[in-house]
Each structure stands twice: as C-alpha cells, then as structure tokens.
Homo-oligomer: A and B are copies of this chain.
C-alpha cells in the first residue's frame, strides 16, 4: 500500500540506513547527489514517514495529548487548541484531543490517550474549576489548563479571575459609575473569585455595600446553559427599584446579551443610562452586540501557548498555579 524506506532503498540500490539518513538528515553525511536521487524516488513513490514505526524506537509518538472535560465541543476550546497547536507545531508535533463527554471517569480516558503514546498530556476544563485528579494520574498529566488540581500535584494554568474582576470594576468606577450590579455565575469557582475581586475593588474605591448588588444569572447552583435564566427578572427588578444601577457587570457575554435585551425592554439605553461590561470576549457575540460590548477577554490562547511551553520543556517547573491575566477589550458599552 504505502511505500516504506525499504522500497526506496531497493529502488535506489542503497541500504535503508542511507535512505533514512537522506530523508531525515541525521548526522550521516553523504554525497549530495545520492541524497537528491533518494529524495526524488521518495517523492515519486509518495513516501511519507511512518510515525508508528519511528515511535517504536523513540518510545513515543510526536503527539501532545489534550484530554478535555467537554471542551472540544465548546466555542472556548478553539482558542486553547489554537494556542497549544501553534506552540506544539514548532516542535514538529501535533495535538491530539479527546473529550471526556460520555466517559465515566478521567482515568479511563487518560488510559485511552496513553495507548497512543503521546509525548505529554494536558488536561483542560471547559470552565475554570477545581478538578480532583486521581492520585495515580498525577504523573500522567503534565499540566492542567483552565482548572486546578484539587490536590496541587500538577502545574495548573488558570485565568486570573480576581485580578480581572478588580480591573473591570475599577474601570467602571473610573467611568463614573457608582452603583454597580453584578449578575454573576453562581456555584462555580470563577464566579466566587470574581465576586471577591468585585467587592475588593468597590471597597478600595470607598463604595459601600449598597452599591454592591450581586445576583445569580441562573437559579441552579450549577453552570448549565439549560438552566432557566433569571436575567430578565433581575434586570426588571433592578430598573424598577428605588435606586437603579448605573452599571451592570455580567458573568459572561451571553448573560450580557440577555441584559441588553432586558435593558431595552425597560427603556434604558446603553451606556448612557446603564453601562454594561462582562467577562469572556466570546467570538462573534461581544463585538456584534449593539453597542459592542466592553469585556474582559479570557486568556485562553495564552493558556494554550503556556501549556505547550511547560509540556515540552526539558525539565518540569515546580508545581504550582499560574494565573494568567485577562485582557480588557474596550468597546462602546461603557
């Protein structure tokens, strides 16, 4: 079916070793003429390296495994994969992604991944959370992306939620807003941390508790897009209250989308009456809202890139949690 080094060697009348050297330019030096001839024959026969065979000697396939929560099926995945892929390609490797979706547990999918003998494995979560990786897999996973190991046995890369919340809240305050409502994502780590940062920024600015309303975007304490949204009723109530907010901070861009609609219904204009800001910078949403949304962009791409650095580095860095900064994207909603 597919041509092998042997086929080329036979055709060229040299040994496989010579062909291997010619194509993959090992230290073996040979007449440039022979090398050229071999390359031509390889081309002619449609030869492509057999990584499986090569890996028998090397011990691993030129792959970086990415085991994901349910990530691949989420729009956020794209940026993490882009970042990882770009960096990994530089080392002539490819990213091989598998999704946990139907699986019972993390261990079984990690074992599935290991069968392909990747050089290293990263674990990524769809949203920032704490993951309890079974002890026996602490060595298998080289880095955790967008989540942290509950037992701190694996180097983790997570977005700096607190910093981002402080930055965006301060930004709203600097824009003159004094009564900020935060429609947060309840029951998830990212939400807790952001609320912490939010309150800290308000404290720092000397704004009292009355100006620090925090409301849940959904009823259930679970992150699920299926859960019925509380956004319309919250916004309605806020705007009808004795002291309506002059800014609404949203848990993510989709919440912001709903906030936009609800504000319009209540007759408020953005940003004149109420400024709106958010977290995510989700492709195709944030920039297309009317007015375009000011939001803190998640460092997905950077986490992917950084993960590659860690995985492919000669020596593992000391285990720890690295917080990567969000980026403020200023648009017209503030």
Contacts from A to B (Cβ < 8 Å) = 1-2, 46, 48-53, 55-56, 59, 61, 72-75, 77-79, 81-82, 85-86, 89, 94, 96-99, 102, 111-112, 114-117, 136, 225, 254, 257-258, 261-262, 264-265, 282-285, 288-290
Alpha-carbon separation in the docked complex, A116 to B290 (Å): 46
Q: Given contacts A1-B59, A78-B74, A81-B72, is CB(A51)–CB(B116) below 8 Å?
A: yes
CB contact between A254 and one of B53, B117, B284 (< 8 Å): that residue: B284
Alpha-carbon separation in the docked complex, A46 to B140 (Å): 12
Shortest C-beta distance, A60 to chain B (Å), equals 9
Alpha-carbon separation in the docked complex, A285 to B283 (Å): 11
Alpha-carbon separation in the docked complex, A284 to B114 (Å): 34
Alpha-carbon separation in the docked complex, A53 to B56 (Å): 6
Q: Given contacts A73-B81, A73-B82, A98-B94, is CB(A258)–CB(B290) below 8 Å?
A: yes
Q: Evaluate contact between A284 and B99: CB separation under 8 angstroms.
A: no
Shortest C-beta distance, A52 to chain B (Å), equals 4
Q: Given contacts A50-B117, A258-B290, A261-B290, is CB(A283)–CB(B75) below 8 Å?
A: yes
CB closest residue in chain B, given A225: B284
Inter-chain contacts of A285 with B (CB < 8 A) = 284-285
Q: Evaluate contact between B48 and A52: CB separation under 8 angstroms.
A: no
Inter-chain contacts of A97 with B (CB < 8 A) = 97
Q: Evaluate contact between B117 and A52: CB separation under 8 angstroms.
A: yes
Shortest C-beta distance, A267 to chain B (Å), equals 12
